[in-house]
Structure 1
Amino acid sequence: MPTHLKALSLQFYRGIGPDKQSIGPFSEMNLFIGANNSGKSTVLNFIRDRLPFMAGSQKIQPLGPAEEYRGQTTGQLAAAVGIPREEFISTVDQRISPSVQQQIGIAGMIEAIVEMMIFRDFVWVVGDYGSEKKYEKEIEVDEFLKTYSEPQWNTLWNKLTNLHGGGPKNWVTDTLKAMLGAQRVSFPEVAHIPAERDLGEGATGFQIRNDKTLIDELAELQSPDHDRREDRLLFDKITSFVRVVTGKDDVTIEVPHDRKHILVHIDNKVLPLFRLGTGIQEVILIAAFCTIHDDIIVCMEEPEIHLHPVLQRKLISYLKEFTNNQYFIATHSAAFIDTPDASIFRVENDGVQTRITSAIHRGDQKQICDDLGYRASDILQSNAVVWVEGPSDRTYVRHWLNAVAPELTEGIHYTIMFYGGALVRHLGASEIVDEESLKEFIDLRALNQNMAIVLDSDKDGPRAKLKPAVSRLKSELSGGGGLVWITKGREVENYVDANLMHEALKETHPSSYKGTVETGPYDHAFYFERKKPDKKGNTVHKAADKVSVAGYVCGKPANLDILDLKARTRELADMIRKANGL
């Protein structure tokens, strides 16, 4: 699945007021969760109506009354899209290769300039529909000139623009314009699936774009022309999803010649789709639309309406595995929160304006459940719960489990959840044990006895002692169906072969990666030597993108012959099997 839009900032739009909201990073699946009237559809509305840099878009129009922020402090709409640091640098490097930069004496200059443009890991770019790209902030020429000498600025300016002469002010402003102009910022079609979906008689009213109804599109896929035979594969894919939803392996669907209904052949009967119930009809129609329309951005409002939690999970699973779009979903449903690899954003209104924050830690996700009126339903309903610190650990654990127990499926046999907040802070503390934080976490055991937790030992040597909080969790949670996995090495990343780890670091940090540092089992596995010292003079990069690195590593076959990885993964798989009666 693609990630077309990486990040977005908004100010003075609908419920968002003077406090600009910088939202991201986005992934393939993005969930906006909040209470009624919190403004959780704000981002979807903007993407649908006003996303810049779209092919074929018209010039931006003034805001309508419903789009204006009506708080005490008002202003003009300000919006920008974010380009990730590494992507921005890599694009500029294609104009002047790093080897040429080295030869002409400006090695590291592009990276340093971009670092000055960064806010929250993104360069923010503004522009009207189809217009040139502009830097979001006013360019402070004097600040940029302080970073490098005038001859170096002149050299970089000349290489990027092929111009001569000018002066320092031109060199800075033109260089930044050239760097921005090199970026490939464009977005595909946006489709919007509203909360109140007009199914109409026989689903003929399920029309999201103006040119044709969904039932017309299905009819064309069912019987494609001679030069479009591959379209039938999409129809077959939709049929497969109908079988998953109904639990019947021999179900088929058909669009008759009059296109009044979608017919379902089931249990030796032929029934109109709506006879299977509104929930099944809606989930099939949403899945069909997202299958037919490929490589676009889909904004979806409250897909959980009329859907049982099981159908909700089946829909999300299908969209992730069998469609090729980027999704932005506004929802009330706690069932969506544990979608693997989704980006989850908490939306709230503090009485002044809408605020949107990324829910990274499980502690934040618990607060989301509280906001929605849920408590511990996900924990109660899971057969087994595996707690990890963050998204990268989740990726590794799922990868290793797939290697030793491919029959186990996340979301069905087990759920991976994040512990966070105060617990993480105190797990990293030297001698401090926060009794309240630990007790709250240990008490979760009462909700589900089949619970495992994966903890970094944080040991800097084989004889080093565990931190008090880690020892406490080990003694409290071991036994009785529970499992405590404390890493044999320093951290979870030390279970990855050092050569593969640095291959991943080099691939995901091409503009800053120079080489390896210490790679023993008690060293920081994701540290690497920088090409150029940072502003503080540090030559070791300590803030690698763990999620991207984990994604790269887990795209390779699992190597379980490191430390005690194979034994602990098998132990975890056995616990999950037992919890599921397998």
Structure 2
Amino acid sequence: MIIDSKIIVKNYKCFDSDVGGGFNKIVPINLIIGKNNSGKSSLIDLIQFLIDGNEIFINTGRDSKSAEVIVDYILNEKSVVRAFPANTGGGGIPGNHLEYGRQFIGKKYTYKLIGKGQKSFVNIETDFVSNAYSYFNQLANIIELPFAGKVFCNISAERDIIPELSEDKIIFSSNGAGTTNAIQGILNRTDKDSRLVEKTLLDELNKIVNPDILFTRILVQLDKGYWELFFEDNKQKRISLSKMGSGVKTVLLVLLNLVVRPKIENKNPSSYVFAFEELENNLHPSLQRRLYDYIKKYSKKHSAYFFLTTHSNVVIDSFGTDENSQLIHVSNDGDKSTCKTILSYNDAKQILNDLGIKASDILQSNGVIWVEGPSDRNFINKWIEILNPELKEGLHYVIMFYGGKLLSNLSFDFEWLKKEVIPLLKINRNAYVVIDRDGKNINAKLNETKIRIQEEIGEERCWITKGREIENYLSDATLTNWFRNKHKVKVEIINKKDIKLEDNILNTDTKVKFKYNLNKTIHSSEIVEFIDESSLDVLDLKQNLNQLIEAIMTWNE
């Protein structure tokens, strides 16, 4: 599904005629992030132009000039064979023309869109004889445009669902106009299957809004000539959509386009390119997470492309590490906008600055698992994934670091107001803490800080490792397989439970000079590849994991 073509628009609205802005590639889920008026919507316009070729786009340039769309395309054999004729020679082109053309397979070919579906040759990254120019020019119109044959489906940032007069047509608009009439038409017309709304749409809606609310029925009623949407909950309470918050309207609009529209238009969901703008408006972070998680699963199931503009940090949590997603940061210096695909920590930090993210945003998380550092996070996420793959970090819980020695300055006692102590339950009442025992043996007495923390938060929300550190829960087989496959050392690692993992590795063989603690985060991310369910029967690991999972389930009702 990855489209490796680089697509840039120049001289359009906030994008200048020099650098422009766009995409280095297209992946299934493309997140466009930036401040207001930075140029996010202009990138949505670019995607729409690729699909429908709207000439208004080309004619809406800066300084009374036409906009330019430039595409870098990697030539494949299929396009070259179509452009360069076989069994043809001469004309100033060396040898057989097709064989001459084959040398350009895999090369970057640049063309420009000039409106009305027409393209023109700009450049190719290698030399060619001038007599072959006509073939390269012909290539431009042979190459298939990105999203050829797709349907553009947009939800704009300004949207609403209101009572409407009855109409015969069922339409799907970007601003929500026609939504009420579309639903009443499906429910009331004999040529439509009402179960599409009564059952399918309702079930999908509940997947997202539950557990905040559970709808048992969706219906329309006529009031003073206008159709109005109503919902009934599990207490048989009926309320009109117009009296609900705009969050439910947004979710309904998304589902109408994802679930209902393909059925009504008799198209496969993969036929659409979905462009949804600022879905987070008036959505609580927990509802955002469920909605974005739904989109992620939908994209994977139906091989559908999404372009999502947003100001929300929840997007970064939901998609930042997803292999099928990319973050495009759009920024404006007051004169022009530029785009950057986020690949580094510094880039991500700039996004957070632009979005105005503060540490207090953790207040909105469903629950927080406090661990000593990043390596602990890697292990816990993997263990949770094995025992309950439905639970996802960023959606059902977040993991925060307290950093070892800082533990003595932390408190889970909500009423403890000493200035030198940070009351973590004030940050989020749904908390769970994982602490390394750090004793020289399994029966070693806990220090006063760890005893205090356990008493404050409660034993059912505090996991103190039975071994010396969390790494002692790693099985001998897991560590041996990791060391042999990742570091090409054939030794048998015995992970003694009262000794640090680094020392266990060093004690394996006098020739091994491996410092695990120097790169714990990197090494832990390697080790999790070799953890499976059979490796969880170590000490009290499963017991504590089940207790942790129970806590997460409680946080998420």
TM-score scaled by length of structure 1: 0.57
Output the amino acid matched with 1:303. L
CA distance in 2, matches of 1:110, 1:400: 53
Output the amino acid matched with 1:199. I
How much has 1:28 moved relative to structure 2? 2.7
Q: What are the within-5 Å matches in structure 2 for residues 153-302 of structure 1?
A: 169-171=130-132, 173-174=134-135, 177-178=138-139, 181-183=142-144, 185=146, 186-201=148-163, 208=173, 213-223=178-188, 225=190, 229=193, 232-233=195-196, 236-244=199-207, 245=209, 247=211, 248-249=213-214, 251-256=216-221, 260-266=227-233, 267-294=235-262, 295=269, 296-302=272-278
CA distance in 1, matches of 2:188, 2:30: 34
- The answer on whether the counterparts of 1:32 and 1:328 sit within 8 Å (CA) in structure 2 is yes
How much has 1:374 moved relative to structure 2? 0.8
1:580 partnered with 2:543: no
One of 292, 314, 326 as aligned partner of 2:290: 314
How much has 1:106 moved relative to structure 2? 11
TM-score scaled by length of structure 2: 0.60
Per-residue CA deviation, residues 491-541 of structure 1 (Å, 9 max, x unaligned), is: 57975xxxxxxxxxxxxxxxxxxxxxxxxxxxxxxxxxxxxxxxxxxxxxx
The structure-2 alpha-carbon separation of the partners of 1:346 and 1:235, relative to structure 1 and needing over 3 Å to count, comes to farther
1:126 partnered with 2:112: yes
- The answer on whether the counterparts of 2:384 and 2:549 sit within 8 Å (CA) in structure 1 is no
The structure-2 alpha-carbon separation of the partners of 1:105 and 1:460, relative to structure 1 and needing over 3 Å to count, comes to farther
> 2:467 maps to which residue?
none
Matched position secondary structure for 1:409: coil
The structure-2 alpha-carbon separation of the partners of 1:578 and 1:400, relative to structure 1 and needing over 3 Å to count, comes to closer
% identical aligned pairs: 21
How much has 1:368 moved relative to structure 2? 1.1
CA distance in 1, matches of 2:80, 2:536: 39
Output the amino acid matched with 1:307. L
How much has 1:217 moved relative to structure 2? 1.8
Per-residue CA deviation, residues 400-438 of structure 1 (Å, 9 max, x unaligned), is: 864543352343334599xxxxxxxxxxxxxxxxxxxxx
- The answer on whether the counterparts of 2:3 and 2:25 sit within 8 Å (CA) in structure 1 is no
> 1:46 maps to which residue?
46
> 1:345 maps to which residue?
328
> 1:8 maps to which residue?
7
- The answer on whether the counterparts of 2:58 and 2:114 sit within 8 Å (CA) in structure 1 is no
> 2:281 maps to which residue?
305
- The answer on whether the counterparts of 2:110 and 2:123 sit within 8 Å (CA) in structure 1 is no
- The answer on whether the counterparts of 1:348 and 1:354 sit within 8 Å (CA) in structure 2 is yes
The structure-2 alpha-carbon separation of the partners of 1:279 and 1:460, relative to structure 1 and needing over 3 Å to count, comes to same
CA distance in 2, matches of 1:82, 1:450: 50
How much has 1:317 moved relative to structure 2? 2.4
- The answer on whether the counterparts of 1:224 and 1:232 sit within 8 Å (CA) in structure 2 is no
1:413 partnered with 2:396: yes
The structure-2 alpha-carbon separation of the partners of 1:567 and 1:82, relative to structure 1 and needing over 3 Å to count, comes to farther
Output the amino acid matched with 1:254. L
CA distance in 1, matches of 2:536, 2:251: 40
Question: Which blocks of at least 5 consecutive residues in structure 2 are unaligned?
Answer: 84-94, 263-268, 401-426, 436-469, 472-478, 492-510
Per-residue CA deviation, residues 74-127 of structure 1 (Å, 9 max, x unaligned), is: 9652213455x4xx536448979xxxxxxx99999878624431xxxxx55432
CA distance in 2, matches of 1:451, 1:16: 49
> 1:327 maps to which residue?
306
How much has 1:335 moved relative to structure 2? 1.5
Give 1 or 2 for the bigger CA radius of gyration: 2
1:486 partnered with 2:523: yes
Q: What are the within-5 Å matches in structure 2 for residues 357-372 of structure 1?
A: 357-372=340-355
The structure-2 alpha-carbon separation of the partners of 1:61 and 1:298, relative to structure 1 and needing over 3 Å to count, comes to closer
CA distance in 2, matches of 1:3, 1:212: 33
Question: Which blocks of at least 5 consecutive residues in structure 1 are unaligned?
Answer: 97-103, 118-122, 146-167, 418-445, 475-483, 496-558
